[in-house]
Structures are given as C-alpha cells and as structure tokens.
Amino acid sequence: MVKSTNDRIANAVVFIILLVCGLVAVFPLLYVLSVSLTPFSEVLKNGGFILVPRSITFDAYHKLLMESNIPRAFGVTVLVTVIGTILNMVITALMAYPLSRKQLPGRNLFLMMVVFTLLFSGGIIPTYLVVKSIGLLDSIWAMILPNLVWSFNVLIMKSFYESLPEELFESARIDGAKEFRILLQIVAPLSVPVTLTIGLFYMVGHWNEFFQAIMYVTDRTLFPLQVVVREILIQTQQPLENADNMTPSETLQMASVILASLPIIMVYPFLQKHFTKGMLLGSVKG
Amino acid sequence: MLLPGLIYYIVFKYIPMYGVIIAFKDFNMMDGIWSSPWASPWNKHFLTFFHSPYFSQLLTNTFLISVYKLLFGMIPPIAMALLLNECRIRWFRSLIQTLTYMPHFLSWVIIYGILLALLSQSSGLLNQWLKDAGGTAVPFLTSTSYFRSILVGSEIWQNLGWGAIIYLAAIAGIDPTLYEAARVDGAGRLRMIWHITLPGIRTVVIMLLILNLGHILDAGFEQIYIMYNIQVYAVADILDTWVFRTGLQQLNFSLASAVGLFKAAIGLVLVLGSNKLARRWGEGIW
C-alpha cells in the first residue's frame, strides 16, 4: 500500500500530541525529583525551572531518614500492606468461590448482600462507631479490617471462577475432593492472572491508604506514610520538630513526596500489564 | 467457606446501616446507640441541617464539583483512546500508555505534593515564571477562584491514560471489516473515526456517563480533604468533608449521621434511577 502525504501528516500529528501527553504525565514528577535534590537557594535562583539539577544535595533525604517520622511510617505502611493484602486475597477468594457455584444454597441472597453494599452504606459516622465499639481504634487493624473486602473485586473474581469449565469441578468431585481442596489445588492455580491483578489493586490501595488512618488512628506512632507526608506538606514553616534545621522546607517536602511514591513507581513498570488486563476483565465481564 | 466474608459484611457493612438510626436520636457516647433518647421531633437533625446556611453551600459545591469532573473528565480519555488507536508505531504507543497510566497509581497526597511544587505561592514553578515575566505571584491553592479548576485538572491528569483503557477495549471490539469496507469506499482516517470508531464506542460512553450520574454526590472526599484549606471552604466543602468535620472533629454524631444518611439515600435513588435509564438507553440505541 502506498502511503499518501495526508496519512503521513496525520501520523505526525498523532505522534506529537501523544508525545505531549506523555511529557505532561512525567514532567511533574521529574520536576519534584529535581527540586528534592537541589539546594533550595538554587531552586529560587533559577526561576524554579531545573529539570536536571545543577548541584545535587541529599541533605533533604538524609534529614528525613534521620530526624523525621518517615522511616517509622514506612514500616507501618509496609506492615499494613503485607498483612492487609494477604488477608484481602484470602477472604475475597473464600467469598467469590462459593458465590460462583450454582449449587450454593441461598446464593442469590448472599449475592444481593454483597451488591447492596455497593449501592448503600451506613456512612462514615456509624462505621466509625462500630470500629470504636469493637476496640480497633488506634491499632493497625483499623487500617485493614474495615476495608477487608471490596465488593467489586468479589464480583470480578466470581465471574472469572464462573468462566472455568464445569467438568473440571465434576471430575474433581468424583475423585473425592472437597470444596477447599478444589479451590486450593484446582481453581487457584488456574486463576493466577486474576488473583495477581486483584492482589495488586489491594496492594496499591493499602500503600495509598489515607482515609482510614485519619479516621481511626490518632496515635502518632501508628501513622502510615501518606498521613506523615501530608503533615510535612502542610507544615510550611517548620517542617520538623527541631526548628533549627538548615534545609529549607520545599526541598524536604518534595523529598518526602519522592520517598512515598518511589516504591509504587519502581514496581509499576512490572505490574502495568497485569493492571490493564485486570481492568479489562472487570469492565468486560463486570 | 463464606463465613469469614459474611462476618465482615455483617460487622462492617450491615451493622453501620443499622447504626444510622442515631440520625433519629440524640446520641451520646455514654448511653450507646440503643439507649440514647429519640430526638424530638424525630427528624430534628435533618431539619437543623436543612435550615442551616451550610445546606445550600454544601449541596452546590458537591454538585458543581461532580458535574465539572463529569463534563471535563470524560472527553480527554476518549480523545486519548482515539489517538492511541490511530498511532501506528507500536513501541511508541505502548511507551505513551505506560507513561500516562502511571499517575493513576499515585495517591492524592503525592499529587498534592506535586501541585505544591508547581503552584505554591512562594516557590512554585508557575509563580516563579510569573514573577520572572514581571507579574505578581498568584495564590493558586488558597484562592477560591482557582480551587475547583485545580481539583478537576488534577483529576484529569490522574485519569487521562487509565480512563482510556475502557474505550480502547471498546474500539478493539469493533468489527474490522467495517474499516475495510470504508477504505474501499475511499474514506480517509478522519471519516473512519467519525463514522465507525465514534459510533462504535457510543454505547460505552453513554453507559459510563449514566453510571457516573449515580455517584454525583460523592465528588471525591479524599482528594478534596487533602487539598483544601480553610480559605477555600466556601467553594470546596462538600457533604462528605463536612460530615467528617462535624462528626469526628466536633463530635456531633447525630447531626453528621443525618447528613450522611441524606446523602446515602439520594445516592441510592440516583444509582437505581440511572441504572434504569442505562437499560432503557441501551435498548433505545441499537
């Protein structure tokens, strides 16, 4: 096929617009990174525009790691993410598997129960009172249990399980396998892609957790990363407890932003494909 | 197998729904939900809210922010999907996809940090440019005239690439013979977009639009809570943020629950109504 000039122009236009979109997506982060590495006086001198820092300093990172709550908060967030994601996955699978089996008695009622929570909720105050009354306030469980299962993920997993051939289950049953065994040894290995996707969704959710932490946690030693970073961001005058520090605040603020987003950005390229797959799974089947 | 999941749903979803009765009571912590006296008249807290000056302000803010996000937030991802679909260079296409999906995984705290770097009055990039050009610094983040644009803009930035995924999926589902037939008939690329691609994704667009209508009272609690400050309450305070402050910071549980229930009830009606509408449109179109 011969390429017409028109086609070539169109290709070029598409190319340029997409390039701009790509730059718009990454530029802000690169800028933040550059600010975090540059001495503050330089930031001001250069009119702020420095994508490649002229002089680099790790002062801000050093300060954050030695003198702030960031390392502790990092630990809290990792703990919540690991425990939370594992529990999320186990309970979601245990919920989705029975719901995917047509022979479950009361299946429609249970399904209704799950779907209804997507439409209506008691609201934040009554939920807070429940969390308070079972004594979860000020514990890391307050950041895990109230959001243990996302109904939407149950529905995605359920529809995936339903797409597995029925004969598989029948033959397993004839061989004498009970439901737990079927789930563990037959269904689980077949559903690695969907499990991975949903696990990643839960994981990012925990890493970015903010809402439950500000609702249920007042003990400063249990603050997760996002909460601590926001505190650093809104304290413009004295970023840390000791007021005599020499590193001006914006460099510190941006360093904290980079520290909190680094893990996500580092694992992101490897996970991206799975996310896309999962999103499509959810949208086509959900 | 269902048991752990069911316990979760009952404790964290259904007990709070029962807990909304405190909206009709004069709740106090000492007596608990059951023994607190009933409010008199029963709708006292609702009346207080309806007659307060907050009522129209909160409703306007919630509604406007949602509608802006809906109007301005839908078109960029559609355009993005069209552009990506037109892009003929494979590696470039996947590079741009990878870059533009990424902001979706950053938390609002991180995005707020980025906004600070770009827009803060003292050292933000944009204000440095303004000052260099001889202008004066603009307090973008604390001014009522910019706040909503910043909310909507940052949401578009976060969701540009990610939102395109579902439209790309819809485009992929279009019968390729349609394009061949059009090419034989001498249609150019723009004509093919206009007559084949856009009608091909029309159902998805309308479906998403209607489903989003159901969540019009949500407006995005976390984003607003993280970004707003006392100077912009007048344009930024929404139902959810007000409930949070009134309930958990001023300990006015009953009033906050009443407002939460009001919001949840309207949300339920909207979701059910728009679902019905979606079905009717779904049949009406093809």
Tell me how crowded residue A74 is: count the other CB atoms within 10 A of its CB: 17
Cis-peptide, bond into residue B41, ω within 30° of zero: yes
- Residue whose entry in the numeric block shows the structure tokens 């000791």: A242
How far are the Cα atoms of A91, A149, A170 from residue A178, in angstroms, in the given order?
Answer: 18, 25, 11
What's the confidence (pLDDT) of residue A278?
66
| Chain centroid to CA B113 | 20
DSSP bridge partners of B25: B38
pLDDT over 70 (residue B94): yes
Distance CA A79, CA A83 (A): 6
Asked if B158 and A261 count as a contact pair (C-beta separation under 8 A), the reply is no
- pLDDT > 70: what percent of chain A? 87
Percent helix, percent strand, percent coil in chain A, to nearest 5: 75, 0, 25
Q: Does A41 touch chain B (CB under 8 A)?
A: no
- Burial label for A126, CB within 10 Å (0-12, 13-18, 19+), is buried
What are phi and psi for residue B183, nearest 5 degrees? -65, -40
Whole-complex ipTM: 0.88
Q: Do A121 and B16 touch (CB under 8 A)?
A: yes
The amino acid at A43: V
Over the stretch B119-137, which tens digit does the pLDDT of each residue have? Answer: 988 778 888 888 888 888 8
d(CA A60, CA A259) in angstroms, rounded, equals 11
Q: How confident is the model at residue A239 (pLDDT cuts 50, 70, 90)?
A: very low
pLDDT in tens, A141-158: 999 999 999 998 999 899
Measured CA to CA, the distance from residue B179 to residue B195 in angstroms comes to 10
Would you tell me the crossing angle of helices A70-100 and A59-67 to the nearest 10 degrees? 80
Binding-face residues of B in 256-275 toward A, CB within 8 A: 256-257, 260-261, 263-264, 267-268, 271-272
- CB contact at 8 A, B179 and B192: yes
DSSP-derived secondary structure letter, A105: T
CA distance A179 to A176: 10
Number of cross-chain residue pairs from A and B with Cβ atoms under 8 Å apart: 252
A131 contacts on B by Cβ (under 8 Å): 12
Q: What is the pLDDT of residue B261?
A: 94
Q: What is the pLDDT of residue A147?
A: 92
Shortest distance, CA B133 to any CA of chain A (angstroms): 10
Q: Looking at CA atoms only, how far is residue B140 from chain A in angstroms?
A: 15
Q: Give the pLDDT confidence of A19-75 residue by residue, as tens digits.
A: 999 999 999 999 999 888 888 777 666 655 566 777 788 888 988 898 888 999 999
pLDDT at A237: 46
Specify burial of residue B101 (Cβ count, 10 A radius: 0-12, 13-18, 19+): buried
Position A18 pLDDT exceeds 50:
yes
Tokens 């990363």, located at residue: A225
Contacts of B6 (CB under 8 A, 6+ apart): A110, A113
CB contact under 8 A, B1 and A98: yes
Task: Find the distance separating the first CA and the last CA of chain B, reported in whole Å.
Answer: 42
* CB A206, CB A83: distance < 8 Å: no
- For residue A284, pLDDT beyond 80: no
Instruction: Report the pLDDT value the prediction gives residue A2, as an integer from 0 to 100.
Output: 52
Nearest CA in chain B to A200: B105
Mean pLDDT over residues B173-198, rounded?
A: 89
* CA A270 – CA A41 distance, rounded (Å): 37
Are A125 and B243 spatial neighbours (Cβ–Cβ below 8 Å)? yes
Q: Residue A44's pLDDT is what?
A: 66
Reported as a pLDDT band with limits 50, 70 and 90, residue B1 is: confident
Q: Which is more confidently placed, A271 or B248?
A: B248
Indicate the residue of B17, B88, B268 with minimum beta-carbon distance to A11.
Answer: B88
Sequential DSSP letters for B155-211: HHHHHHHHHHHHHHHHHHTS-HHHHHHHHHTT--HHHHIIIIIHHHHHHHHHHHHHH
Rounded Cα gap, residues A19 and A189, in angstroms: 40
Return the closest-CA partner of residue B81 out of A276, A135, A162: A276
Query: How far is it, in rounded angstroms, from Cα A158 to Cα A137?
Result: 32
Tokens 């789930």 — which residue?
A: A183
pLDDT score recorded for residue A279: 66
Burial string for B143-179 (b: 16+ CB within 10 Å, else e) reads eeebbbebbbebbbbbbbbbbbbbbbbbbeeeeeeee
Q: Share the mean pLDDT of chain B.
A: 88
Angstrom distance (rounded) from CA A113 to CA A124: 19
Rounded distance between C-alpha atoms, residue B140 and residue B118, angstroms = 10
Q: Are B36 and B185 in contact (CB under 8 A)?
A: no
Question: Are A46 and A237 spatial neighbours (Cβ–Cβ below 8 Å)?
Answer: no
Question: Which residues of chain B neighbour A183 with C-beta distances below 8 Å?
Answer: 1
Give the minimum alpha-carbon distance from B199 to chain A in angstroms, rounded to a whole number: 18
What 8-state DSSP symbol labels residue B215?
T
Q: Which residue has the higher pLDDT, B32 or B94?
A: B94
Q: How far apart are CA A74 and CA A206, in angstroms?
A: 12
The arithmetic mean of pLDDT across residues B74-89, rounded, is: 93
Q: How many whole angstroms separate alpha carbon B247 and alpha carbon B208?
A: 33
pLDDT of residue A241: 46
CA distances, A190 to each of A87, A168, A193, B102 (Å): 20, 11, 8, 29
| 3-class DSSP state of B25 | strand
Q: Cβ contacts (< 8 Å) between B263 and chain A: which residues?
A: 123
Specify the pLDDT at position A251: 86
Average pLDDT over residues A186-193: 87
Tokens of A117: 């929570």
pLDDT of residue A246: 47
Range B57-65 average pLDDT = 94
Chain A, 127 to 166: residues with Cβ < 8 Å from chain B are 127-131, 134, 145-146, 148-149, 154
Q: Which of B172, A21, A19, B164 is nearest to A11 (CA)?
A: A19
Interface of A with B in 44-103 (CB under 8 A): 44, 47-49, 91-92, 94-95, 97-99
* pLDDT value, residue B239: 94
Q: Which of A262, A263, A235, A260 is nearest to A250 (CA)?
A: A235
Considering the entire predicted model, what is its pTM? 0.89
**Cβ atoms of residues B216 and B270 within 8 Å:** yes
pLDDT digits (tens, 9 = 90+) for B4-47: 899 999 999 999 998 888 889 888 777 777 777 887 788 889 99
